[in-house]
């Protein structure tokens, strides 16, 4: 059977499946290479979504590496090539002679209304008690922590989005790791709000 690859452009990103199509034997593993480039002038978080077509046969094309959705943080002009590994089940429908894997890149716009609103809510629920309303480390519980809470303002001017996302996901000092509690889009929205605070 044949697997076709298709790339779709969203916002300031380009995506290029390196192999237009490949012949695949049922029961064998195969790999594709997807190249994503940030054409914008700023660092942006992007989500790459894979759509398997036809839908009624999607269950026969199994992701082994780099699942159906993954997130990238790229600097301006940066390009990343992501290998994706698949397996076509031996019991794939005989009537389906070809699959299509369509990759779409969705740019996370930093000042979109919805992410900003979501980030503000998350900050109010999880961060304000320690970091304070303007992220100056003067929250109501900050004095109870050993060493207090530092002023975030300098970090918001100096650190990249990648740094902030890592701190949110993994935690810093007494601040817990939020990766188990917040999804990727929620962590990104929190960075959007932090950037807005730091303006």
Report pLDDT digits (tens) over 76-99: 888 988 888 888 888 777 777 788
Between CA 24 and CA 33 the distance in angstroms is 15
More confident residue, 72 or 65: 72
In whole angstroms, give the CA distance from residue 88 to residue 67. 14
Q: Tell which CATH classification among 2.60.40.10, 1.10.287.3510, 3.30.930.10, 3.40.50.2300 matches the domain 2-107.
A: 2.60.40.10
* pLDDT above 70: residue 43: yes
Token representation of residue 88: 């076509």
Structure-block tokens of residue 20? 């237009």
**Whether residue 108 has pLDDT greater than 80:** no
What topology is assigned to 113-198 in CATH?
Answer: Cytochrome Bc1 Complex; Chain D, domain 2 (1.10.760)
pTM exceeding the 0.85 threshold for the entire prediction: no
What's the pLDDT at 112?
47
Same fold, 2-107 and 113-198: no
Q: How confident is the model at residue 165 (pLDDT cuts 50, 70, 90)?
A: very high
pLDDT at 168 over 90: yes
* Domain range summary for the chain, segments of one domain joined by +: 2-107, 113-198
Please provide the DSSP assignment of 153-189 as one string. HHHHHHS-HHHHHHHHHH-BTTBPP-TTTS-HHHHHH
What CA–CA distance (Å, rounded) separates 150 from 153? 9
What is the pLDDT of the chain when averaged over all its residues? 81
């Amino acid at each position: 059977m044949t697997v076709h690859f298709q790339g779709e452009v969203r916002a300031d990103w380009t995506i290029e499946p390196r192999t237009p199509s490949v012949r695949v034997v049922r029961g064998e593993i195969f790999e594709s290479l997807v190249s994503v480039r940030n054409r914008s002038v700023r660092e942006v978080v992007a989500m790459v979504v894979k759509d398997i077509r036809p839908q009624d046969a999607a269950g026969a094309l199994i992701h082994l590496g780099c699942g159906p959705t993954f997130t990238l943080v790229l600097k301006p002009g940066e390009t990343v090539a992501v290998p994706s590994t698949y397996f076509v089940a031996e019991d794939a429908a005989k009537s389906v002679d070809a699959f299509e894997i369509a990759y779409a890149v969705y740019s996370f716009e930093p000042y979109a209304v919805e992410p900003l609103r979501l980030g503000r809510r998350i900050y109010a629920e999880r961060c304000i008690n320690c970091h304070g309303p303007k992220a100056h480390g003067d929250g109501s519980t900050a004095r109870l922590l050993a060493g207090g809470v530092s002023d975030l303002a300098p970090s918001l001017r100096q650190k990249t989005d990648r740094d902030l996302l890592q701190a949110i996901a993994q935690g810093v000092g007494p601040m817990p790791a939020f990766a188990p509690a917040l999804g990727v889009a929620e962590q990104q929205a929190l960075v959007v709000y932090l950037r807005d605070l730091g303006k």
